[in-house]
Amino acid sequence: MILHLLVYVAGALFASFLVLSLASGLYLLAEWVEEYTVLAKKVLRWTSHAVIIVHILLFFDGLPFLRLAFSLACQVWYLQLLPAFPIIEFADPMFIGLCGLVVSNHCWWFFYFTQKYHPFPQTATFFGICVWLVPFLYFISVSANDYALPNYDPSSSRHDDPSNPNGGTGRRKRFSLFKSIVDFVIKRNYLPIIGSNHHAT
pLDDT at 74: 94
pLDDT at 172 over 50: no
Per-residue pLDDT at 126 exceeds 90: yes
> Contact, 191 vs 17, CB < 8 A?
no
pTM, entire model = 0.65
Average pLDDT, the chain: 74
Exposed/middle/buried for residue 190 (C-beta within 10 Å: 0-12, 13-18, 19+): exposed
Q: Is the pLDDT of residue 174 over 70?
A: no
The region that residue 160 occupies, defined by phi over 0 for left and psi between -120 and 50 for alpha, beta otherwise, is beta
Q: Under DSSP, is residue 89 helix (H, G, I), strand (E, B) or coil?
A: strand
In the predicted model, is pLDDT for residue 65 greater than 60?
Answer: yes
From CA 77, how far away is CA 98, in angstroms rounded? 7
Instruction: Please give the order of strands across the beta sheet that includes 88-89.
Output: 88-89, 142-145, 174-176
Longest dimension (CA), the chain: 66
CB 77 within 8 A of CB 105: no
**Which residue did the predictor score with more confidence, 180 or 32?**
32
33-42, 98-107, 125-134, 162-171: which range is least confident on average?
A: 162-171
pLDDT at residue 7, as a whole number: 74
pLDDT digits (tens, 9 = 90+) for 27-50: 777 777 777 778 888 988 999 999
